Structure 1
Amino acid sequence: MRFTSLEIPDVLLIEPKIFEDERGLVFESYRENLIEEKIGRKISFVQENICVSKKGFVRGLHYQTYPMEQDKLVRVTRGEVFDVVVDLRKHLPTFGQYITQVLSSKNRKQLFIPFGFAHGFLTLSDEVEFSYKLSNYYSPENQHCLLWSDPQLAIPWPYDFKTIKASIRDQQGHFFDHTDLVTSKID
């Protein structure tokens, strides 16, 4: 596995080493000891979610707050997405910055997203199957949604805003300048 720190160093791009021959291919999609070594702490994923979405839908930007914040390991198992991660850690100079990556079943890239970030994606292919490994359980009372189209963030979504579809919940996400939510115990 190759680990690359992105523009916000705590977010890691993970690219597997692929072994291919006449039978097909094999690769490690998860190896706890390597991830722990790279992030410098123990991690335990307690829940995995699979999401299937149609083309042109945005999901997110979601996050959970203290005491139920979540580290995430995300990847696409079928299709392609434009993935977005927004830093919500008020105490760091990267607060408010975002990272975008194209993740697909062809490139097999993954993102490790530590707690304190909002995450979402836009589906680029006809159908997408998206996998999330989570370090904490889903908690409706701690779940929040940042508005994906917030002009203050100015995320360069690859489709015209008028053509992007979203659930009612995602359409009603809060603006970035909403400051009364504590994202982690270190805020």
Structure 2
Amino acid sequence: MGLSDGVTQNFFLLSVSDFFMALVTMINGVIYILMTHFYNDESGSSEKNTQILNPATIMAVGFPQNVSLITTVVIAVVRCCCVAMPLRVKYLLAASRQLAVILFFSANAAVVLLYAVVPIQVTFVDNPMTNSSLAVLVNLKWLTYTLFTSICFYSGFFIVIVCIIILATNVYRSSHFRQNPLPATPRPKRGDVRSGM
């Protein structure tokens, strides 16, 4: 069905955002290995660059991570609605509406994160004892960043948990209804007039 199908579209968006999140995380891991094992304590330009890139990748991973979270929440809500109201979900939650919701909330999350991280400045604090410099982030709006990420993630997890509970309850009711045998209708006797004999 291609990307016109809502399920395929959402899982494609989820895989793309997860790919970028894994890529940024891998870059951060490589930078951390370079900082801790390959660069010495002398304050060279390479070490300073890695000290800048390390927090930059940590902040950058929040953008694809929010897209993954929002897409996961949309998938959970759609699956829940497919079970709770199967006849109306196709019209209420079309693929275009699902995409619009994902893009709307992802764009809002990106704006809030940019508001928190754009004013960041990096200053290097020299340590004459070890003859090294340490990168320190200043002007980061930590309160905005931590409040937004906490509210976003905990709200997303809460919605997913509620959807799972609704799904499990509906599936349990359906399976319980199927397992209960219907009351047996009495079979007509051989000499009964209604049996046609």
The answer, yes or no, to whether TM exceeds 0.5 is no
Greater strand fraction, Structure 1 or Structure 2: 1
Which of the pair has the greater relative contact order for Cα pairs under 8 Å at 6+ separation?
1
Q: Tell me the TM-score range normalised by the shorter chain.
A: under 0.3
Larger radius of gyration: 2
What TM-score, normalized by structure 2, do the two folds share? 0.21
